[in-house]
Structure 1
Amino acid sequence: MKFLHTSDWHVGKVLKGRNRLDEQRAVLREIVGLARTHEVDAVLVAGDLYDSAAPSAEAQELVVRALMALRDTGAEVIAIAGNHDHPRTFDAYRPLMNIAGITMVGSVRTAESGGVVSFTAPHTGEPVKLAVLPFLSQRHAVKAAELVAKTPAENSAGYDQLIRDLLNTLTAGFGDDAVNLVTAHLTVTGGALGGGERAAQSIFEYHVPAGAFPADAHYVALGHLHRRQTLPAACPVVYSGAPIAVDFGEQDNTPTVCLVEATPSTPARTTDLPLTSAKRLRTLHGTIAELGERAAEHAEDYLRVVVREPARAGLREEVQAILPGALEVRIDPEFAAPLQTTRPDRRDDQSGPAELFAEFLTERKIVDERVQSLFTRLHDEVTTG
C-alpha cells in the first residue's frame, strides 16, 4: 500500500501581521495533487492542522475542504489533534466527518472506541491497522493512561512511561498479516526542533524515547517537530516536517510530504516529495545600497532584514520601499547604540528639553535633523496647549 504522511499545517498562522491563508491554500492544494498523482491508499495528518485552538471560520473552512479533497482522491483520511488544536472540537466534528469518510481523533481513545483505525487499502486490498495517539499534555497523560492502559499510572515515574503504556496497549493487536502503523503528535528524545514549535510543549518532561514504539510497526508517522527527520529506532520513526515555514526560525527547512510504501512482509520505503507553493522566508544583512542590489532576487520572499547602518528616522520605510516583503527590520548590533544602563545626571548648563533630547540623539548615534525638528514642534504644541 501507499500513503502520504503530513503534519503541522498550522492553518491560520499569521506571520508578523501578514495573513497567509492564500499560501496555505496553495500548499494544501499541492498535497491533494500529490495524493491523486501517486494514487495513495491513505493520508495521515499527524496533528496541528490549525495554528490556534480557536481558529477563524476561514481557517476551518480551508481545513475541512482540504480533508474532503483528500478523501475525494479515494484515500482513507485520518487526522489527529496536535497541541495547537482543540481536541474536543475534533471529537465534536467526528460523527459528521465519519459520514464524509474522514476519521478525526481529538482525544486518546481505547482501541475498541477508535484508538485503532482498521481499514483495507483501496488499491491493493491489504489490511491496515493504525494506532492513533493525539497530543497529550503531562497533566492529561495520567488520566489517559488509566483509561486506556489500565495501569497504576499514579505511580508512574514519568511522562514517557505513560506514553509507553498507551502505545503498548494500542498496538497490542498488531499482527503479521497487516500493515501496522502508528501516528502520534509528540516529541521524540533527540529530535531536532524545526524552529517554530512551542518550546514549553517540546522539551523537558515531554520527551518520549524512540524505543517507546513497537518493533513490529512498519512506520511511525509523527507530528510536532517541524523539521523533516528520521529518528533511530527498531522501526521507522519519522517526522514529515511542516509543509510551510511558520516563522523565520524555519527558513532553512525543506518543506516536504512523505510518500510511504509498505506491505505486511516488507519494510516501509519512504520518498520525500518537495512542496514549493509557499513563499520562502529569508534573512538578509547589508546596507541600504547592498539590500537594493539584492531586491530583484528576493522580490517574492518574506524577509527579515538586518540593516548594517545606524538607526535613523524613516529607515524602516526605506527598507520596505526597496524590499516590499520585509516583515521585520532590525539594526545590526554592531551599528546599534549601546544600551543606557544608568540615568545621566542633568548638568546645570542644560537649559531645557531640546538640549536634553539632542544629547540623547547623540548618545544613540541618531543623526537626523527631522527628528530634532519634530521633537521641537511637538514640544511647542504640548507646552502651548
Structure 2
Amino acid sequence: MRLLHTSDWHVGRTFHGADTVDALRSVLEELAAIVRRERIDVVLVAGDVYDSAMPAGRHVEALTRALQSIRDAGAQVVLSSGNHDSPARLGANAGFARAGGLHLSTTALDPDSWRIELDDEHGPVQVFAVPYLEPVVLRAALPESGIRTQADAMRWAMDAIRADLAARPARAVVLAHCFAAGVAADDDDAPREIRAGGLDVVPIATFDGVDYAALGHIHSRQALAEAVRYSGAPLHYSFRERSPERGGWLVELGADGLDGVSWISLPVPRPLTQVRGELDALLADPAHDGTEDHWVRAVLTDAAMPLDAMRRLQQRWPHCAQVEWAGAVGGADAAGVRERLQRRSDAEVVEGFLEHVRGEGPSDAERALVADGLARVAAAEAAR
C-alpha cells in the first residue's frame, strides 16, 4: 500500500493578510496529479484541514474540489481534525462520505471511530486517524483517566490503539496532531496553544506499536524517527517556517510493515526571501534580481526608520509582506524601559519616543507643541 502523508492544509489562511486560496488550489491540484503519477492508494491529512472553525463558503468549495480531484485520481482520503478545525462541522456527514472513499475522523472521545479498515494484496491495514486531543476536554469527560497534558492525552489514545491491534493484529498507521519531542520548531510556525508552563511534548516512544506515525501541527517537514514524521504544510504560511520545500512523505507498506519513506515535492507558488540592508541600497541592489515575485521580508538597517518604507519596497517587490527596522536606534537594548519610563515626566516620555522612532529628538517648536497639548489634557482631567 502506498500512502501520501500530508497535513496542515489550513484552507482559508492568509499570508500576512494576503489571500492564499488560489495558490493552495493549484498546489492541491498538483497533489492529485502526484496521486495519479505515483499510484498513491491513500492520502492522509493529519489535522488543521481548515484554518478556521467557521470556514467561508469559498474555502469549503476549495476543499471540496481538492478532495474530489484526489478521489478522481484514484486515492482514498483519510482526514482528521486539528486544533483549528470545528470537529462537528468538518465531520458532518462522515458516514455518508466514507462510502465514497473520504474518511473523516473528528470524534476525540470515541477511539472506535478513529479506525479506518483498508486492504491491499497483503491483507488488512488499520489507519487510526486521531483527532486533535484537547486535554481539558478529555479530563472533564474522563476524570478517572488522569489526563493533564497533551502527552497524557496522546498516551491514552495510543493505549486504546494498541489494545485494538492486540485484538485485531494488522499493519497500522496513526495520524496525530500534536507537538512531539525532538521536533526542531524554534524558527518554525509552530502553534503555541499547546504550551503551558513550558513545552508540552509527546515523547516519540508514545507511538510505539504501529508501523508509521503521520504527524501534523508543525508547518515544515521533519523526520523524528524513520517511522515518525511531520510532512509540514503544502504552502508557506509564515516567514518563520523552517524549510523552503513543500510536499509530503510517500509511505510504502509491504507485507511485513514499513518498507520505506521518501519525500515527494510540491510546487512552491511563491518562495520566501529575506533581504537586509539600508532601504535605498536594497532598492537598487542587483544581487536581488529575480526575487521580485517572491514573498519578501525586509530588515532595514538605516540609522533612522525610513518613511513610507513598505510602499517603496513594494515598488520593487509587489509581494513584500513584512518590514522590520533593525537600525542602530531600533536595535537598542530595551531592558529596563518600563523602569525608566516611570521616572520620566510625560513630556520626557514623548521626547524619548520621538528619539526612538526617528533617531533624533524634537525641535523647539515640537517641544512647545507637546507642552501645550499636555497642558490641555491636564486641564481637561482636572475639570472632570
Indicate whether the TM-score tops 0.5: yes
Q: Residue 237 of structure 1 corresponds to which residue in structure 2?
A: 228
Cα deviation, residue 185, structure 1: 1.0
Cα deviation, residue 18, structure 1: 0.7
SS at match of 1:62: helix
Q: Residue 259 of structure 1 corresponds to which residue in structure 2?
A: 250
Q: Residue 137 of structure 2 corresponds to which residue in structure 1?
A: 140
Q: Residue 85 of structure 1 corresponds to which residue in structure 2?
A: 85
Percent of aligned pairs sharing the same letter? 27
**For residues 159 and 303 of structure 1, what CA distance do their matches in structure 2 show?**
35
Paired residues for 1:109-258 under 5 Å: 110-112=110-112, 114-121=113-120, 124=121, 126-142=123-139, 152-153=144-145, 155-156=146-147, 158-174=149-165, 178-193=170-185, 195-202=188-195, 204=198, 206-215=200-209, 217-232=210-225, 236-250=227-241, 252-258=243-249
**For residues 83 and 93 of structure 2, what CA distance do their matches in structure 1 show?**
17
Q: Deviations over 1:250-271 (max 9, x none)?
A: 1544212111111131433011
SS at match of 2:138: helix
Cα deviation, residue 107, structure 1: 1.6
Give the direction of change, closer, same or farther, for the CA distance of 1:177–1:264 in structure 2 (3 Å limit): farther
CA contact (8 A) 1:251 1:280 kept: no
Give the direction of change, closer, same or farther, for the CA distance of 1:218–1:144 in structure 2 (3 Å limit): farther
CA contact (8 A) 1:80 1:132 kept: yes
Report which stretch shifted further, 198-207 or 220-229.
198-207
Q: Deviations over 1:291-337 (max 9, x none)?
A: 22245321111111111222243333222212212111222232538
CA contact (8 A) 1:186 1:202 kept: no
SS at match of 2:3: strand
Which residues of structure 1 form unaligned runs of 5+?
A: 147-151, 348-355, 380-385
Paired residues for 1:262-273 under 5 Å: 262-273=253-264
Paired residues for 1:1-385 under 5 Å: 1-108=1-108, 110-112=110-112, 114-121=113-120, 124=121, 126-142=123-139, 152-153=144-145, 155-156=146-147, 158-174=149-165, 178-193=170-185, 195-202=188-195, 204=198, 206-215=200-209, 217-232=210-225, 236-250=227-241, 252-292=243-283, 293=285, 294-309=287-302, 310-336=304-330, 342=341, 343=344, 360=354, 364-365=358-359
Give the direction of change, closer, same or farther, for the CA distance of 1:268–1:110 in structure 2 (3 Å limit): farther
Which residues of structure 2 form unaligned runs of 5+?
A: 374-384
Report which stretch shifted further, 318-327 or 39-48.
318-327
CA contact (8 A) 1:13 1:51 kept: yes
Cα deviation, residue 346, structure 1: 6.2
**For residues 44 and 84 of structure 1, what CA distance do their matches in structure 2 show?**
17
Cα deviation, residue 91, structure 1: 2.1
Q: Residue 376 of structure 2 corresponds to which residue in structure 1?
A: none
Cα deviation, residue 99, structure 1: 4.0
How well do the aligned residues superpose, as a CA RMSD in angstroms? Answer: 3.3
**For residues 141 and 135 of structure 2, what CA distance do their matches in structure 1 show?**
10
Residue type of the partner of 2:261? T
Residue type of the partner of 1:9? W
SS at match of 1:207: coil
SS at match of 1:173: helix
Residue type of the partner of 1:119? L
TM-score, normalised to structure 1, is 0.81
**For residues 314 and 225 of structure 1, what CA distance do their matches in structure 2 show?**
35
SS at match of 2:165: coil
Report which stretch shifted further, 328-337 or 73-82.
328-337
